[in-house]
Amino acid sequence: MNTTELEATVRAMTARGKGLLAADESSGTIKKRFDSIGVESTETARRDYRQMLFTTPGLDEAISGVILYDETLRQSADDGRSLASILQSKGIVPGIKVDKGTIVMAPGSGEKITEGFDGLAKRYEEYHQLGARFAKWRAVYCITDELPSPRNIRLNALGLARYAAITQQSGLVPIVEPEVLMDGTHSIERCEQVTTVVLQGVFEALAAEGVALELMVLKPNMVISGKECVVQANARQIAEATVRCFRRTVPAAVPGIMFLSGGQNEVQATENLNAINALSARHPWIFSFSYGRALQAPALKAWQGKKDNVTAAQNAVQKRALLNGAACRGEYQSQMEQAA
């Protein structure tokens, strides 16, 4: 394992006041996003959209790394430079989503497990050549009164741990993403309970697979009320439950906890991250962001697939990046939404 390169990568990813832009939507997911603005999802349109995002002036002020999809890592901008090298030229680390999505765990189980091990070590050789220095693998867990099942927790944890071990051996930093979904009527207390057992399972498996905790990043959900829950916890309650949950489950050796947005709207995702960082500075980890929708939604809306809208769309993504950067320091205030 090339520890020196992994250390440099993880240090760059977890730079203070910065976070990750998750732009690794699979072709199916990006089609859904494009459908929402009436743009056909062609390879060129996807390239244009990602080029717009990555060439945003000043993007590196609050973005330390970008998670790419396989297709994007192979694409080039109008000027012939690869999209990955554009990021590198700004000091932003390119990364790659390597899981192949989810399949039903067992018929009727209502649960999913993640695929993507085939040829993974081999794929990493190419990804590294193309400039990727970190990777991402996502496991999903649903909440009901009965779920997630112990089997689902065990299998997903094993998958994340095997992936993380292979990733480090291949010279890339693994982002370990166990996502407990927001969908449902469950309370924040139930989310805390589930997130706690999920993270316990994940760190037990990571230890068993010999993953170096110093050389990985955790990308979890926040502890939050179910989307359809009648009682919605406020930012302070979310921050307290989230920090309590991580203090109980995440070893101090992990350098960074970089949250997914998971369907929170862009302002909520910023407010909640800020509340977490405003609680107290005495954590062994940095609390930052690795947002997809919460960074991109306003930019997507502004873009509409038109060249004329590129500047407006770039301003929109840069605004969210800077506000989330402020939230990483606990310095975000709602008035900044108008000022920006």
**d(C-alpha 235, C-alpha 216), whole Å:** 27
Residue 54 sits in the site that holds ligand 13P (CB under 6 A)? no
Asked if 256 is part of the footprint of ligand 13P (rule: CB under 6 A), the reply reads no
Contact region with ligand 13P (CB under 6 A), list: 9-17, 255-263, 276-284, 327-335: 255-263
Q: How far is the CB of 138 from ligand 13P (least distance, A)?
A: 4
Phi-psi label, residue 171: left if phi above 0, alpha if psi -120 to 50, beta otherwise = left
Block residue for tokens 């316990």: 200
Q: Any catalytic annotation for residue 40?
A: no
Question: Among 59, 294, 310, 317, which residue interacts with ligand 13P (rule: CB under 6 A)?
Answer: 294
CA–CA distance, 37 with 70 (Å, rounded to integer)? 23
Helices marked H in the chain — which ranges?
Answer: 3-13, 27-35, 43-54, 70-73, 83-89, 120-129, 150-169, 188-208, 235-249, 266-279, 293-303, 310-328, 336-339
Has 177 been annotated as catalytic?
A: yes
Between 108 and 142, name the residue whose CB sits nearer to ligand 13P: 142
Among 262, 266, 298, 321, binds ligand 13P (CB under 6 A): 262
76/268 with CB nearer ligand 13P: 268
The residues, ordered by sequence, that sit 6+ positions from 146 with a Cβ below 8 Å of its Cβ are none
Which residue is at the shortest CB distance from ligand 13P? Answer: 292
Is residue 68 within 8 Å of residue 24, measured between CB atoms? yes
> Is residue 260 involved in binding ligand 13P (CB under 6 A)?
yes
Q: Which of 306, 320, 319 is nearest to 49 (CA)?
A: 306
- Site for ligand 13P (CB under 6 A): how many residues? 11
Residue from the set 292, 298, 310, 318 that interacts with ligand 13P by CB under 6 A: 292
Peptide bond into 251 cis (omega under 30): no
Q: Which of 6, 10, 21, 22 binds ligand 13P (CB under 6 A)?
A: 22
Tokens at residue 144, please? Answer: 């009901």
> Token digits for 325?
């950067």
Closer residue to ligand 13P in complex, CB, 129/300: 300
Residue the block writes with tokens 């065990």? 154
With CB under 6 A as the contact rule, the residue among 47, 186, 293, 319 that binds ligand 13P is 293
Name the DSSP letter for residue 254: -
Residue choice 291, 310, 320, 324 for contact with ligand 13P (CB under 6 A): 291
The minimum distance between CB 291 and ligand 13P, in angstroms, equals: 4
Signed CA dihedral, 49, 295, 199, 134: sign only: positive
Q: Which of 219, 266, 271, 319 is catalytic?
A: 219
Residue 51 contacts ligand 13P per CB under 6 A = no
Residue 112 binding ligand 13P, by CB under 6 A: no
Segment 117 to 156, residues that bind ligand 13P, using CB under 6 A: 138
Per CB under 6 A, residues contacting ligand 13P are 22, 24, 138, 177, 260-262, 291-294
Catalytic machinery residues: 177, 219
